[in-house]
Amino acid sequence: MKILLKSVKIIDKKSDYNGQIKDILIEEGKISRIADKIEVKADKVVDSENLHVSTGWIDMRVSPKDPGYESKEDLSSLCRAAAAGGFTRIVTLPNTKPIVQTKESIAYFKIFSKAQVVDILPAAAVTKNGEGKDFTEMLDLHHAGAIAFTDGEHPLWNADILLKTLQYLYPINGFLMNRPEETTLTLFGQMHEGIESTLLGMKGLPSTAEELTVMRDLKLLAYAFSQVSDKSRDSALHFSTISTKVAVELIREAKANGLPVSCDIAAHQLAFTDADLKEFDTNLKVNPPFRTKADIDALQAGLADGTIDVIVSDHNPQDEESKNLEFDMADFGIIGLETAFAVGNTYSKLTIEALINKLTVNPARLLRLPQETIQEGANANLTLFNPDTEWTFTEKHIRSKSKNTPFIGHTLKGKVIGVINKNQLV
């Protein structure tokens, strides 16, 4: 199949054509030609106003729900939602039923995604059933294709397990992701602990619960790192969805001290504060919770100076039975694949080039993936978008099975036009 992209601005700092407007011809899944003007008969032509192209975006935190919770999301709807959001590769959390802790469960995702435009990169559980008590067969799972190790929605509460995991994974260049939360401090919590939670009469999720875990994990990382001779390794420990000012400061200091650490934030954390929960909209019930304006300012500063490496969707579909309830009974989570780019573009204060790096170069580096680039002869793994289009997100834009999002009716800036991967254009 021949695909011709007309007058497209290339956003790829690794490409010789970065920042230039060119025509791009794709033949049988490869970029065959890049030139000022290409006149050729193509099967599909993409010619859109203010068209931009980058290498395909990567989402490092997606809850797949399949197998086990297919009423909320199945792999087909997940891939449709990812493509609609501009993602050609997604890292899935292991919290399915059964949990992803066997070679067969890794194969389930990899085989399904072979025919899809979106590549599913499954992360495997660190501990059996995600309970934090005993290890999975991580070496076997690594060789079976697990992209990373995490207990996903469950923080690694056991300090000894976390330390031994770091020591175990380091020789094989493994990648550990942990969501920082001291769960004994957040039991029964519903929203950020502060003035707003007090006024609303709801149990809070304190910032301290996140920050204590970041402190602990960094201390354990420093201890494990002091015992290895090869200190050239990229990040060995990744904090998923940090949300507080102090967490940003702790990670910034750790990076300055040379620790192999990285982190991400969920795009939606930039858009709301705890003050927005006054109407008890369960679509705003997320964990980590929406915090304060000071925390958002710190997240934006962390994105700008490189402390925060990646922006993720934290896509977590929930059906009506899980969300259409009293606030304290509703499940946490929102869908984010379709809106992550636009929300990040609207609220992050990053340039488009810096934002695209948070979606492409940085996640590929952290996940030990080959760096894609836009050059003649390269694989055509691409995302097409217009960074300046302002549009209103409505229910018709949702490709996920679930509709749990607070962004319906919101005007966002930046729209995905399509994705190209594996000789497919969507």
d(CA 158, CA 103): 25
Sequence length of the chain is 426
Considering only CA atoms, which of 239, 126, 260 is closest in space to residue 179?
Answer: 239
Q: How many CB atoms lie within 10 A of CB 401?
A: 21
Structure tokens at 76: 């087909």
Identity of the residue numbered 218: L
Identity of the residue numbered 63: S
Q: Which of 74, 314, 319, 388 is catalytic?
A: 314
Structure tokens at 84: 């609609």
Q: Which residue do the tokens 């005007």 mark?
A: 411
Structure tokens at 72: 């909320």
d(CA 219, CA 213): 10
d(CA 379, CA 366): 20
d(CA 49, CA 47): 7
Q: Is 309 a catalytic residue?
A: no
Structure tokens at 112: 């399904």
d(CA 227, CA 61): 30
Q: Which residues contact residue 68 at a Cβ distance below 8 angstroms, ignoring those fewer than 6 apart?
A: 96, 97, 98
The catalytic site residues sit at 314
